[in-house]
């Protein structure tokens, strides 16, 4: 089985920085079910790692991630699953984003090229995001007859507020430039093209020089306060996704995407 994720530890001040590289070496970096599992395992790799204070997550040089892989055979098998099997399979994404959010270490994403759909859901589960100035973000789920899931809507809401979150999610064809993402609060820092990883590492070094225990406790406190009520709403997005996937509009959205044509939605 191909390995899409590499972990390097012991970098930076006192060896307190780690780098997780997600790169399928195809220029697209789509999130197949197997990629979701490997990225979840990567986050869990740090559960008992007291020597690492900061984890930098980076994608390929041309793309952070194109989102869920609609062409992957396992992913396409969802179309024939009963509702019980579908709900179980749909937990892969939320499990991934939760694993990264719950890490004790500070997490920083380095975004080059584009960050789309599930890639955005992963990015907003991190503590900080550094984005190349020529990169862009897009949230296409609604345009595919789906809803934005993986418990990402509350996370986006905390970062951008309600109006910008609606704008980013509902206007599915809109590319959000790096400049707009920074202005909206979706990313915290911009970098020159090809330099997002270097900028993320520079930020990681600043964090790594702080007292590790105080940093970890502060992150936990902020996250608990910010996300205290999120589960009240975000638990339902798996069921919303499952329901949306049964609609004719979803079938039309995916068929239009694969056929490279505009979709025709009918509200059923």
Terminal-to-terminal C-alpha distance of the chain: 39
Give CATH for domain 5-194+212-258.
3.90.226.10
Against a cut of 0.95, is the pTM above it? no
Rounded Cα distance, 152 and 149, in Å: 6
Is 205 assigned a catalytic role? Answer: no
CA distance 6 to 127: 20
Residue 82: the pLDDT is: 72
Distances in Å between the Cα of 77 and the Cα atoms of 36, 260, 267 are 16, 21, 24
Domain boundaries, the chain: 5-194+212-258
Full pLDDT tens readout for the chain, 268 residues: 679 999 999 999 999 999 999 999 888 999 998 999 999 999 999 999 999 999 999 999 999 999 887 776 665 666 666 777 777 777 889 999 999 999 999 999 999 999 999 999 999 999 999 999 999 999 998 888 888 888 899 999 999 999 999 999 999 889 999 999 999 999 999 999 999 999 999 999 999 999 999 999 999 999 999 988 887 766 677 778 777 878 888 888 888 888 888 888 898 8
DSSP labels for 98-165? HHHHT-SSEEEEEE-SEEETHHHHHHTTSSEEEEETT-EEE--TGGGT----TTHHHHHHHHH-HHHH
Check residue 1 and give its pLDDT.
65
Q: Which of 14, 34, 74, 141 is catalytic?
A: 141
pLDDT at 172: 81
How confident is the model at residue 224, as a pLDDT?
92
What pLDDT was estimated at residue 159? 97
């Amino acid at each position: 089985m191909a390995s899409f994720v590499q972990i390097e530890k012991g970098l930076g001040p006192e060896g307190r920085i780690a780098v997780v590289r997600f790169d399928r070496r195809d220029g697209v970096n789509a999130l197949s079910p197997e990629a979701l599992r490997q990225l979840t395992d990567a986050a869990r790799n740090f559960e008992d790692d007291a020597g690492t204070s900061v984890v930098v997550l980076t994608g390929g040089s041309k793309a952070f991630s194109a989102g869920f892989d609609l062409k992957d055979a396992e992913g396409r098998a969802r179309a024939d699953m009963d509702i019980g099997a579908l709900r179980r399979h749909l937990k892969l994404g939320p499990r991934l984003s939760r694993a990264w959010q719950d890490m004790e270490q500070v997490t920083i994403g380095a975004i080059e090229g584009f960050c789309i759909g599930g890639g955005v859901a992963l990015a907003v589960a991190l503590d900080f995001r550094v984005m190349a100035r020529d990169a862009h973000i897009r949230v296409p789920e609604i345009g595919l007859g789906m809803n934005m899931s993986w418990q990402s809507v509350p996370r986006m809401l905390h970062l951008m507020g309600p109006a910008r979150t609606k704008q980013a999610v509902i206007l599915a064809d809109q590319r959000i430039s790096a400049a707009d993402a920074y202005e909206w609060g979706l990313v915290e820092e911009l970098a020159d093209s090809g330099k997002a990883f270097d900028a993320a590492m520079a930020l990681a070094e600043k964090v790594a020089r702080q007292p590790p225990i105080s940093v970890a406790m502060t992150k936990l406190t902020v996250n608990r306060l910010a996300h205290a009520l999120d589960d009240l709403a975000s638990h339902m997005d798996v069921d919303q996704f499952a329901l949306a996937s049964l609609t004719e509009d979803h079938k039309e959205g995916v068929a239009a995407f694969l056929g490279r044509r505009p979709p025709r939605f009918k509200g059923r």
